[in-house]
Structure 1
């Protein structure tokens, strides 16, 4: 196993496909790696492709840097011979399309889906998660699909692949960096997010340019080189950093939108 950059994303080799997780459209799977751990494996050959994996890295590692509990994220190599004996044709096609470097999250065995009717979240934590999802433009933390787990009585954040949806076209991305996040009105924790201004002050101070560049630096070169919107992978990587830096600098825009949306709920 190897390490990538100072943030220490490990690389593992997938040794066994255990079972598909058909809840999501991208059909991730539980798989075992050569370190004997189980992972939720997210495939580069799935519907949203490599962009969803990039969003997973950026969203997950920003969340971790801000102090949230996030399963370990690793790069996962899929060998060419892997999956040849898979009887399901749909899964076999997915495996063939995903040969090479994929992404995986440590599998939290025994975790249960977060339910706000069962587990109370205090206003500070609710505000922190709402702020994070405004920054990332994460549309996927709704009552229907919270993408939060309870594991060992603690709240864990998972699945940031639907974040940063602007990068599926890169159209007017500099302008989008300054826009409010209107979909925050559907956030499962918005009713309890009463401390957004306080959280905004704390989190913008924590997310330095150096930290953002370190996180963006984790994206593998091969995942950036195929993007036609940029002349080079370096320009592509720099655009992610600029988008996030601009959004952090203008965070009061999305904070006000979230506060307005919350007021509308009351």
Structure 2
């Protein structure tokens, strides 16, 4: 497992290649000034900045505990970028996303994970289920696994529907201690037979300092004019404290996951 936190690179978007018309956020494949292709997540789409924050925190925590994640980068979008786009919906999205967005390195040739085809070992399944419970990730189901197979390895690709406490925000302490009932629909729950061992391992690995180091990656640009009026630093403190409290109370979501697994399998 890797306990180090890589720096997040910043690239400039040079070319809009094609939309990925999956879900409501309308991500796209785009080319950056480093000549690589990325799956670009727009600040002007769907849940906006909060989805990008969830993607950043979830992806970097996954990487920190040793799970496979494409490189995450910050992606600058110039105000003039969308002027020549003929599709009005996409043009509006590009105009609303001027500034700093988020992108994941495009895994060319990857295929969608199919639980009927690929067997996932118990330890890996337990790590993914545990992390999704920590982050309250509602979007890792059979209908939409948000995982890819690339070079015969399992890669996670989407945490944008995580940390949904931040859409209400004011009761974050209460939400940090809630079980995660939707774990019953998790695509890997049937394989997650090592949750107790993984819980002990994750609690030791994800220290308050490491959690804070991930949260500190959130750019100031995403935290200005926060709806509750808090400063960027105050917002980061809430995210950090939420994660710390949720890990300290992990027996709550761990029990929910184990009970759901017993009931289903």
Could you say which residue in structure 2 is the equivalent of 1:137? 136
- Equivalent residues of 1:7, 1:214 under 8 A apart: no
Could you say which residue in structure 2 is the equivalent of 1:204? 203
Could you say which residue in structure 2 is the equivalent of 1:214? 213
Deviation at 1:222, TM superposition (A): 1.7
Could you say which residue in structure 2 is the equivalent of 1:174? 173
Could you say which residue in structure 2 is the equivalent of 1:97? 96
Cα distance per residue 1:108-151 (max 9 Å; x no partner): 00000000000000111111110000000000000000000000
C-alpha distance in 2, partners of 1:221/1:90? Answer: 28
Could you say which residue in structure 2 is the equivalent of 1:244? 243
Could you say which residue in structure 2 is the equivalent of 1:186? 185
- Cα RMSD of the aligned pairs, angstroms, is 0.8
Deviation at 1:16, TM superposition (A): 0.2
- Equivalent residues of 1:230, 1:236 under 8 A apart: no
Deviation at 1:227, TM superposition (A): 1.1
Cα distance per residue 1:35-92 (max 9 Å; x no partner): 0000000000001100000000000000000000000000000001102111000000
- Equivalent residue of 1:211, what SS? helix
Normalization by structure 2: what TM-score? 0.97
- Equivalent residue of 2:214, what SS? helix
C-alpha distance in 2, partners of 1:46/1:55? Answer: 14
Is 1:223 the counterpart of 2:259 in the alignment?
A: no
- Equivalent residue of 2:34, what SS? coil
Deviation at 1:228, TM superposition (A): 2.4
Could you say which residue in structure 2 is the equivalent of 1:160? 159
Q: Any unmatched runs of 5+ in structure 1? A: 1-5
C-alpha distance in 2, partners of 1:100/1:224? Answer: 13
- Equivalent residues of 1:7, 1:215 under 8 A apart: no
C-alpha distance in 1, partners of 2:129/2:149? Answer: 18
Q: Any unmatched runs of 5+ in structure 2? A: none
Could you say which residue in structure 2 is the equivalent of 1:71? 70
Cα distance per residue 1:6-47 (max 9 Å; x no partner): 631000000000000001210000000000000000000001
C-alpha distance in 2, partners of 1:262/1:191? Answer: 6
Extract structure 1 runs of 4+ deviating beyond 2 A. none
- Equivalent residue of 1:254, what SS? helix
- Equivalent residues of 1:83, 1:96 under 8 A apart: yes
Normalization by structure 1: what TM-score? 0.97
C-alpha distance in 2, partners of 1:117/1:47? Answer: 31
- Equivalent residues of 1:43, 1:103 under 8 A apart: yes
Could you say which residue in structure 2 is the equivalent of 1:264? 263
Deviation at 1:206, TM superposition (A): 0.5
Deviation at 1:230, TM superposition (A): 4.2
Deviation at 1:231, TM superposition (A): 2.8
Deviation at 1:180, TM superposition (A): 0.6
C-alpha distance in 1, partners of 2:236/2:200? Answer: 27
